Structure 1
């Protein structure tokens, strides 16, 4: 009983008090299906196939190299065993070594799964697409949807018909 209204017990009322949800009820959000237009699909594909800006990627790689060089410099200065000329010479050789391995840094950055930079994500997506294309044997000159053009259909039917 609640505020003097209702049954005092569930006994004898034909129910035990167990409440179930109505699984047959369909909510409005499930009824509304959002159909994507051709423009929406083109925009989504353009976002997926966007090329990374190589200048930004190389700048980020160079910044990472400079951070490593500064870490080496600080470690050598804190150690106190080296004079300024020796530190500078070792930093220059270390920088040159890392810059020669710049392609290696780019691939490491592109494979990084924690990257939130849009250009890094675009580079990752490009690498993933290249892997998938090579796995499925898709040529480099393939254009999506080209098989559905009239000229291609006519060429295929003429080859099959002969």
Structure 2
């Protein structure tokens, strides 16, 4: 088993940055200043697949967005840390709340603000278009950019390594 596979095998909690990971990083505002975000449905499905297999998903973001609050509720993500400029503080709270060890945690981030957490987790992941400093420190890099299926790729990698993929495919094909 490769180093990355060994890391994936231990994951029980996936933590995601939002802007640049679950979205493409662009901030969209209407004429009244209301923010909107675009989320890829495949990323959401990957999150659901992880949850169905007992892997918890949490979000840590430096910004606050009502659109994100709605999306998190839609996906059943209960641990959402918004407005976390110091992401390490939120990450430490999350570890305490979930009673997870760092080697059981995967984190996907895309920019310098994510480096502190990426350096501590068992599996540091990045979308293809992440900042070069993030890419240099990642254990795993998606082929797709943030907001365009990178989270789904990571979800499938973890599920394959942990042996869940065969059952997921059997259900999808109506064989179970």
Q: Which has the larger Rg?
A: 1
- Could you tell me the TM-score, scaled by structure 1's length? 0.24
**Greater relative contact order (CA < 8 Å, ≥ 6 in sequence):** 2
Q: Which has the higher strand share?
A: 2
Q: Which has the higher helix share?
A: 1
- Could you tell me the TM-score, scaled by structure 2's length? 0.22
